[in-house]
Structure 1
Amino acid sequence: MSIDLTRRRFLIGGTLASTSLLAGCDALVENKSIDNVLQAGEWLSLKAQRLLLSGQQLAREYTEADLSPVFKANGTQLPETDEYKRLMDGQFADWRLIVDGRVRTPLSLSLADLKAMPARTQITRHDCVEGWSAIGKWTGVQLGAVLEKAGLAPGARYAVFHCADDYEQSLDGSGRYYESIDLVDAWHPQTILSYSMNGRDLEIAHGAPLRLRVERQLGYKHAKYLMRIELVDSFAHIGSGRGGFWEDRGYQWYAGI
């Protein structure tokens, strides 16, 4: 068994175990001392990964013969917001990706704009915390190229991905899905904004028109239905301040190999 497979199975098992613990032991998670210990362990894992692996270490890539015959859709499969339905009905002609926050040049990019930029194609394995994996072929623009186009302003530390799916059907938008990564992962060559899966435009269930692929992290980090990328210095003003929808509900912010 490869080191990569062993590590990923360990992480998935650990995440599932953590989820079960959270479901049955909310009182423990709400204890500030225990929460501080869990966060310290998470950051130690991140620092160990950064120390052991170079910033450019690649996740394994596969061949077309390895493509999974079925690739399940994780998370939301059809956003219910009026905004998304309008964009979908117009075949995303009016959709724009906003890039703002701590950038020098805010951007508003159409799907055609993104497809006009140099593309990267990669065949990789998606590992979901629900316990399944699948191999798919993804094509898109490298996130680093988009961020270079915007230019980082002083203080930028994280890229936050705001999505169209209102995961909890909230009236105030607090249930909107979001995720984040640091700038090391943002500039990783396999971190792409994907508009194509298996040689075709993304299907709705898989995140059309655009989703994040950050191949060294588990499935919930791969945000779908992207609307905005915000460069920030901290997560304090977003959600519950943990850096992601599921992180706000007890998952780890760092979910990488």
Structure 2
Amino acid sequence: MKTAKAQRRLFLRGALGALGTVVISGCDRLSEAGWFQHVLSTGEGLSRVAHRALVPPHAMAQEFGEADLSPHFRSNGTSNPEDAQYQTLAANGFKDWKLTVDGLVEHPLQLSLADLRAMPKRTQITRHDCVEGWSAIGKWTGVPLGRVLEMARPRPNVRYAVFHCADPMDGPGSAAYYESIDMEDAFHPQTILAYALNDQALPVANGAPLRLRVERQLGYKHAKYLNRIELVVSLDGIRGGKGGYWEDGYGYQWYAGI
């Protein structure tokens, strides 16, 4: 895993590149300055507004054919969570695993893997684009997130879905991964809770038993090892308030639209 300084350098290189700037000397000092982080935050907001204005709400990410599948869909970040409860569930084939859907909902849910597999499914072949510069094409099968949320009946003021995961990011006992998207992306037809990759049960290295696929955003938004979806009106009370592990800790943009 990269150091915080390396992550800031990577983020700044992408942000400055988007502005057509090739000079990145002193980026570490800039990234630690409050005023510069405010500039980047403002730019992110403008980028999100522009992206949403130009791309229709239900525009689809490109889908591919079987011949385009990558020979190997690499694992990135955590490949086997160092969490005792997760390891127990995995050893039993996730038969006792449940997905919790709660927060601002009228009907909280507890769904087993069998429950999810029994629901209407969607299969899509899409490209995963990582912020580190690599990409891979995989065939994903799962339940449309919107279908699950409809069952939970979100309250009218809900704005975000927060995904809580099983993978501790800094070793056993540390805080687990988390991410969030807004309700527009949550109900997009290509946003699914995937339990299969390339017609096989989702491997542990790729997020078993369940991961998010939000195809119009970069890879770090595709949370793995899901165990809870929390619906909220604001991200302010979620950890550092910026909506995700990389956003809170390393300055990544919350909206990673592509």
TM over 0.5: yes
1:90-239 residue pairs with structure 2 within 5 A?
90-169=92-171, 171=173, 173=174, 175-239=175-239
8 Å CA contact 1:80–1:166 kept in 2: the answer is yes
Q: How far 1:43 moved relative to its partner?
A: 1.1
8 Å CA contact 1:124–1:136 kept in 2: the answer is yes
Q: Does 1:55 align with 2:76?
A: no
Q: Does 1:252 align with 2:248?
A: no
Q: In the aligned structure 1, how far is the partner of 2:66 from the partner of 2:14?
A: 34
Corresponding letter in the other structure for 1:94: D
**Worse-matched range after superposition: 103-112 or 30-39:** 30-39
Q: In the aligned structure 1, how far is the partner of 2:28 from the partner of 2:232?
A: 30
SS of residue matched to 2:224: coil
Q: In the aligned structure 1, how far is the partner of 2:89 from the partner of 2:251?
A: 32
Q: Give percent identity, aligned residues only.
A: 61
Q: How far 1:41 moved relative to its partner?
A: 0.7
- Equivalent pairs, count: 242
RMSD: 2.0
Corresponding letter in the other structure for 1:235: L
Provide Cα deviations, 1:47-77, integer angstroms capped at 9, x if missing partner: 1111111110000000001001111111100
Corresponding letter in the other structure for 2:87: K
Q: 1:17 aligns with which of 13, 28, 45?
A: 13
Q: How far 1:25 moved relative to its partner?
A: 4.2
8 Å CA contact 1:97–1:109 kept in 2: the answer is yes
Corresponding letter in the other structure for 1:197: L
Q: In the aligned structure 1, how far is the partner of 2:63 from the partner of 2:127?
A: 8
Q: How far 1:256 moved relative to its partner?
A: 0.8
8 Å CA contact 1:19–1:250 kept in 2: the answer is no
8 Å CA contact 1:178–1:245 kept in 2: the answer is yes
Q: How far 1:150 moved relative to its partner?
A: 0.2
Q: In the aligned structure 2, how far is the partner of 1:154 from the partner of 1:169?
A: 38
Q: How far 1:137 moved relative to its partner?
A: 0.1
8 Å CA contact 2:142–2:193 kept in 1: the answer is yes
Provide Cα deviations, 1:15-42, integer angstroms capped at 9, x if missing partner: 47149999x7444233222221111111
After TM superposition, the score normalised by the length of structure 2 is: 0.89
Q: In the aligned structure 1, how far is the partner of 2:237 from the partner of 2:170?
A: 19
Q: Kindly tell me: are residues 113 and 177 of structure 1, through their superposed partners in 2, closer, same or farther at Cα, counting changes over 3 Å?
A: same
Please, which runs of 5 or more residues in structure 2 have no aligned partner?
A: 1-9, 17-22
Aligned partner of 1:8 in structure 2 is none
After TM superposition, the score normalised by the length of structure 1 is: 0.89
8 Å CA contact 1:16–1:129 kept in 2: the answer is no
8 Å CA contact 2:195–2:201 kept in 1: the answer is yes
Q: How far 1:154 moved relative to its partner?
A: 3.4
Provide Cα deviations, 1:119-173, integer angstroms capped at 9, x if missing partner: 00000000111111110000000000000000111321000000000011263x4
Corresponding letter in the other structure for 2:160: Y
